[in-house]
Amino acid sequence: MLRIVPLLLSALLVLTLGLVQPARAEMTLVMVEEPGCAWCAKWNKEIGPIYPKTDEGALAPLHRIDIRERPPEGMSFARGLHFTPTFVLLVDGVESGRIEGYPGEDFFWGLLGRMIETAKPQGATG
């Protein structure tokens, strides 16, 4: 019994100091595109260069897929992918939300922000 007490105290100390953090969900923003897509090109010009530098880009890194190809293993979509561009927010590989089309820079950021906020576990920050 006396040997267990130091272990319990160590575990309590680690938890109290916050050295053990809960696992975070992994978010990815999938952009479904195809060659010749004018709205994809517009997104690439307006958002593409800055996306990785934003908070949204840090929380949900961009992964591009061609609509003509099979989605990579480990990605689960709620329904088919039929339009380009389509932006799908995946949480741990499962679709959490989507934006079909590119509604322009201002609307895109608002819609994406709402999807990310909805996808976050309660009490999560960042």
Summarize pLDDT for 41-98 with one digit per residue, the tens: 999 999 999 999 999 999 999 999 999 999 899 999 999 999 999 999 999 999 999 9
Confidence band (pLDDT; 50, 70, 90) for 35? very high
Predicted TM-score (pTM) of this structure: 0.77
> Which long-range contacts does 35-42 make (Cβ < 8 Å, 24+ apart)?
35/66, 37/84, 37/85, 39/84, 39/85, 39/101, 39/102, 40/84, 40/85, 40/102, 42/102
